[in-house]
Structures are given as structure tokens and as C-alpha cells.
Amino acid sequence: MKKKGAANTGKLMEPAPGALFDRVASILDQARANVVRAVNSNMVIAYWLIGREIVQELQGGSERAEYGKQVIEQLSAQLKNRYGRGFSITNLRYFRTFYMLYAERKPEIRQIGSGELSDSPIRHTQSGVLNDLSSAVRTVSKPMGFSPLLGWSHYQSLMSVENDNERLFYEIEAEKEGWDVKHLQRQIHTFLFARLLKSRDKAGLMDMARSGQNLVTPLDALKNPYVLDFLGLPDSERLHEADIERAIIDNLQAFLLELGKGFAFVGRQKRLQFDSDFFYIDLVFYNCILKFYLLIDLKVGELTHQDVGQMDSYVRMFDDKYLTDGDNPTIGLILCAKKNETIAKYSVLKERKQLFASKYMLYLPTEKELALELGRERRLAPRSKKS
């Protein structure tokens, strides 16, 4: 006879409700992520401090090159003997460079969203395509410490950027947008900062270096050129628009990253009807930040007046048929293999605030090629008013 109040040990325990499990799992996942982040952050600070010790020992790297080489070699051997891997001569040189590039920072991890900036001036190292652009920009202040969201691999990638304003831009964007190391490296290698510079005046340049890429107008979201090397297509005259369109759809996630902030895919070959005629737009996207549709027409050849007129019609029809309350005017972007400067200057592209043309490149451009592209854009761009 079972005693009154005794537990029914034969009954199987029911699993915790799904919502409860999800909440507990979320707590544990967050805790583990915080531990990993804390370890990475502390290693960033440790490497900065090690770099400072080396620089101070070498007295700023003055003429004693042979002494410096011996010091680093001996220190590497001693550290590897006690701590194992991770302290090669190459890594110690990285630590030294890391400190020298970020010497004005405080050895601390700043709070997320603090937005605190120091008044310390940053160094200027002119670099290739940015020489003439960065020379027109006053130096901007650096953050007080280091980001808790960026690890040592992020800062190793950032160290490859010579120009201080450019490097700060990538650091801010990587933190704000949660870029992993691979994506950060691609943005650096495809010259994102330089491609965005063309549409900025002096004040805009300073703001972008200080705050990252802030979208205020549709022009802020557009680039020139677009680098589509991830499509894996040959740079050949035998390509057709359909080949590029199909490759973009097959690599849509990568294309959205190249397109920029806030874009979502809407559709391909969007049909527009005008009386008894039908027109088809290659690609349609929507920018969720600025709330506008982006129509993209792909052209494998050189930009023509017919291309501009066609896109102008598309934009007007799309505005008339598809815009709803809260939507801003539609933007039309002609992506072409070659941008005709005369047409860009003397067509409605210069007057219409809803029409743009950009060149696409199916390969990673060299710094010289990019400099030529930016040079063409600056010749076409209207002169900004002097402040």
C-alpha cells in the first residue's frame, strides 16, 4: 500500500517547456560568448602592452637596428620556452607595429556604445590612391580604447591599412556591422573606403572617418566602381547581361554585402506594363534604412544615351505604380562595364537625383586602376562649395 503523499517515482519527468529551454540556452550561449570575447579582448590589450615594452626597450626603433634584432630574437626564444607557440619573431614584430599604430590609445576595452573619443591627434601616413584625398581631410580623433567586439585577427588585418583615417573607418565599420575577419579583409582589399570617398565633401570625409558609413541620402549607399570578383566570371566581351544576372542570383548574399548597408532583395526581371507594352527590370532591391527601391539595369558594354533614357522611364513608371506611404523616390542604377564620361556629364544623369551609373569590375582592381576610376569621378563631380 502506497503511503499518502509519497512521490510517484514511476512517472517519467516531463521535459521543460520549449520556451524555458530556449531562454536558459540563450543565457548559457551568451555567457560562453562573453568568455571568448573577454579572452580575445584581454589578449589584444596584452599584445599592445608587449608591443609598448619592446618599443620602449628599443627606444622607439632608433638607429640601433642590430640591437633591436637581437632583443626580439632573445625575447622570442624565452617566451616560447615558457609559454609555447604564439611568440615567434614575426608575432613580436606584429606586437611592436600594433603599439606604434595605436600608441595614443589607452590599454583598456571600451564600453559598447560609449562613443567616447580622445583629443589625441592621429599620425598621417599617406598611401597610394588616398594621397590626394586624405590630404584634404583634417585629422580626426581616435577612440579611447579598443573594441570589445574585435579580436586580435581583426587588428592584424587593420594593421595592413597605412592611412590612419582609412584604418579608423574600417575599425568603426567592423564594430558597428559585426564584420568577421574574412569580410573585413575583403572590404580592405576592395578599397571600400576609397570607393565611398568620391561622393563626400571635406565635411563628409571627416564624418565618415570619424563615424563610419552613415546613410543620409541614397548617394551615401551607392559605390563606384562595384567589385564583383566573387561572381567568378571572366572579364570578357562575350558575356551577356543574363550571365551576370544569373551569377548575381547564385551569389546573392555576397552581392548584398557588396551592395552595402540596408539592402534587401525584392526580385529579378520585374515586369512593368505601360499600355500594351511590357518592360523588364533586371534586379530590384529595397533599402530598409532609407526606405527606397533600387532598380538595377545590367549592361555589359559602354553606357549609352538609350540606357539612361530607359532607366529614366523605369524609375518614373515604378514610382507611379509601386510606391506606398513612407517610401522615398525610387533610385535607378545602371551597372555597366564602361562608363562614358561625356554621357554621364551631359545626360539627365547629372540633373536627375534618382538616376546613377556605376562601373562594375569582375576582378579585384589594382590601386592604380582604382586611382584612375576615382580621378574620372572627381572630374565629373560638381565642385563643392568651400567651407
What pLDDT digit, counting tens, does each position of 8-51 carry?
555 556 666 677 778 878 888 888 887 887 888 889 999 999 99
Residues 6+ apart with CB under 8 A from 257: 183
- Domain 216-380 fold is Trna Endonuclease; Chain: A, domain 1 (3.40.1350)
pLDDT of res. 319? 92
Give the closest residue to 163 by CA, choosing from 101, 98, 90, 119: 101
pLDDT of res. 32? 86
Average pLDDT for residues 310-319, to the nearest whole number?
91
Break the chain into its structural domains and give their ranges: 28-101, 118-214, 216-380
Give the residue, 28 or 381, on which the prediction is more confident.
Answer: 28
Average pLDDT for residues 341-346, to the nearest whole number?
67
pLDDT of res. 231? 92
Average pLDDT for residues 210-222, to the nearest whole number?
83
pLDDT-derived band of residue 85, with 50, 70 and 90 as boundaries? confident
Percent of the chain residues topping a pLDDT of 70:
76
User: What is the DSSP-derived secondary structure letter of residue 7?
Assistant: -
Enter the pTM of the model: 0.75
Copy the grid coordinates of residue 53. 615594452
Task: Mean pLDDT check: name the lowest of 15-19, 128-132, 146-150, 179-183.
Answer: 128-132
Average pLDDT for residues 282-305, to the nearest whole number?
93
Give the residue, 362 or 24, on which the prediction is more confident.
Answer: 362
Average pLDDT for residues 266-290, to the nearest whole number?
89
Copy the grid coordinates of residue 32. 560562453
Percent of the chain residues topping a pLDDT of 90:
35
Instruction: List strands edge to edge, sheet with 355-361.
Output: 226-227, 355-361, 328-338, 292-302, 277-287, 263-274
pLDDT of res. 119? 33
pLDDT of res. 382? 45
Average pLDDT, the chain: 80
Q: Are 227 and 188 in contact (CB under 8 A)?
A: no
